[in-house]
Structure 1
């Protein structure tokens, strides 16, 4: 399998994974030209729309954990065009991280954003975590 084929598989897998999270949707955002991970109008991730070597996914994480991940993995860098403390960018071409590990990071990003939602919306999402 070529690198671009692996990236294409990941793009499809992570988009579907994000869409399956409660009340979330992943769609192409024209003004930013990215795949936008949305929860009640709040972004919990963004991903390159095309399977190219430079494709990435950017996700929210706890600042201390973000620093640790950047020290461990060369394919994780501070969030591109984002608050570098709270966001990491992961190369989709990485062999350092499995799909499941990246899906765990997507879930964590989703939960961090969900915690900041207004109470009524947060309760709709948190009901799925019980």
Structure 2
């Protein structure tokens, strides 16, 4: 029960954290039945909304770092329903990773998407990042 409360808090916290990033929005995407982390129509994360021991967040990362993280942490696996090279899925029940470490992963995923935005959209975001 205690762990489910922790997972519930994490889901709410990471949703709020994603919404605080410049020009980003996190919303429930009905067609995929998932919380969708969006930046100008580009996905930078997916997170289950249901509170359970199997709740996850999927984030973009650097391919070489993704491999390293999977080897270090049993609760990080190749991205679920995403490109396994570029995305990792993290079980939110993990005690191996702190909220701050997962926030840093969300921020990196966001920054990787920013880098690939069209120039006009990237400039709108970079104003907030500098």
TM-score normalised by L of structure 2:
0.98
Aligned residue for 2:48?
Answer: 48
Displacement of 1:3: 1.0
The range that moved more, 1-10 or 31-40, is 1-10
Please give the alpha-carbon distance, in whole angstroms, between the structure 2 residues aligned to 1:109 and 1:28. Answer: 19
Displacement of 1:55: 0.2
Aligned residue for 1:110?
Answer: 110
Please, which runs of 5 or more residues in structure 2 have no aligned partner?
none
Displacement of 1:129: 1.7
Please, which runs of 5 or more residues in structure 1 have no aligned partner?
none
SS of alignment partner, residue 53 of structure 1: coil
Displacement over 2 Å in runs of 4+? none
Residue correspondence of structure 1 range 1-130 to structure 2 within 5 A: 2-130=2-130
Deviations 1:20-39 (A, max 9, x none): 00000000000100000000
Displacement of 1:2: 1.0
